[in-house]
Amino acid sequence: MTKLPFYQVDAFASKPFEGNQACIMPLDDFLPDETLQAIAAENNVSETAYIVPAGEGVWKLRWFTPAVEVPLCGHATLASAHVLFNELGFDGEAIAFDTVKSGRLTVRRLKDGRLEMDLPAYRIFEVPVTDEIASALGARPVKAWGGAYYAAMFETPDQIIALDVDHAALKDLGEDSADWPRGNFGCFARGGEGVDVTSRVFGPGSGIDEDPATGSWHAMLAPIMQAVTGQDAVSCYQAYPGRGAHMETRLEGDRVKVIGQSVTVIEGQFTL
């Protein structure tokens, strides 16, 4: 039997049971793709991240949902850095992650203990709101953008909280992009309790009906908020029943800084 180190982390969380769960598995080398996917399905959280050392302060990083490998996952990147800084003793200021489709991502430890991710800002373009999409979301957005996600803007945060979507219908709707399939939706409204924007994320196209905290979505939301409000720095709340997540974003040219914290909730071994 092979035993692999295993950490489960609540990302974008100040204490357990907040934010989004990610399983982080440090490896010497990547296992076969079918094994990585099978482990992610067994873990059955929104993302399992695998990290492999690639030099001083550098790791290779891949992310798998229970169903597919994805080109970018922010919360599992944050969680991977949290594990390296807090569980595996990395004492540098910043960690570099080399990825297949999102290039080099860096995570820096701030003086207040939070982590700041540097992610690529997603390209955005306005798209129509169809009757089919409005029906599947359970309410009609006032405006929409395409890109990595279908981004749907609503008038109030209360509408976001109240959305009752048809996940099966959403799975084949939205915009195709080079790396992301259809069926990935970010729904948002300006405002909320103490924040600039409130959102929810639905990803049936990636095997996740609803995601509790989504860094990659905020890499698209940041340029949208800049276009809508002129703000480069935005405080964000991602709503999710029973959990919820807070993060901050800052748009800097074609990059987005996403800032948050994480907590380790499980440490153990995965046996193959």
Show the tokens assigned to 168: 């099966």
Q: Are residues 11 and 96 both part of a single domain? A: yes
22 and 111 belong to one structural domain: yes
| Res. 177 pLDDT band, cuts 50 70 90 | low
**Tokens read off for 54:** 């690639």
Q: Is the pLDDT of residue 221 over 60?
A: yes
Among all chains, which residue has been given the structure tokens 């409130």? 198
Q: Does residue 26 lie in a domain region? A: yes
Within a domain: 251: no
- Say how many C-beta atoms besides its own lie within 10 A of residue 168's C-beta: 11
Are 185 and 114 within one domain? no
Phi, psi of 271 (to 5 degrees): -105, 125
Domain that holds residue 239: 125-245
Same domain (yes/no): 69, 108: yes
Q: Do 111 and 215 share a domain, yes or no?
A: no
Is 59 found in the same domain as 92? yes
End-to-end CA distance of the chain: 6
**116 and 8 within one domain:** yes
Of 55, 60, 15, 18, which Cα lies nearest the Cα of 36? 60
**Position 253 in a domain:** no
Do 266 and 215 fall into the same domain? no
Q: Using a CB cutoff of 8 Å and minimum separation of 24, what contacts does 226-229 make?
A: 226/251, 227/124, 228/153, 228/190, 229/190, 229/196
**Is 79:56 a contact under the CB 8 Å cutoff?**
no
Domain CATH for 65: 3.10.310.10
Number of structural domains, the chain? 2
Is a pLDDT exceeding 70 seen at residue 176?
A: no
pLDDT tens digits, 58-87: 999 999 999 999 988 999 999 999 999 999
Q: Which residues contact 94 (CB under 8 A, 6 or more apart)?
A: 57, 106, 107, 108, 109
Residues 167 and 141 in one domain: yes
The model's pTM is 0.90
Domain assignment present for residue 252? The answer is no
Q: Tokens 């979505």 identify what position?
A: 217
Judge whether 176 lies within some domain: yes
| Residue 86 shares a structural domain with residue 133 | no
pLDDT of residue 1: 85
Please indicate, yes or no, whether residues 94 and 144 belong to a single structural domain of this protein: no
What amino acid positions are annotated as catalytic residues? 47
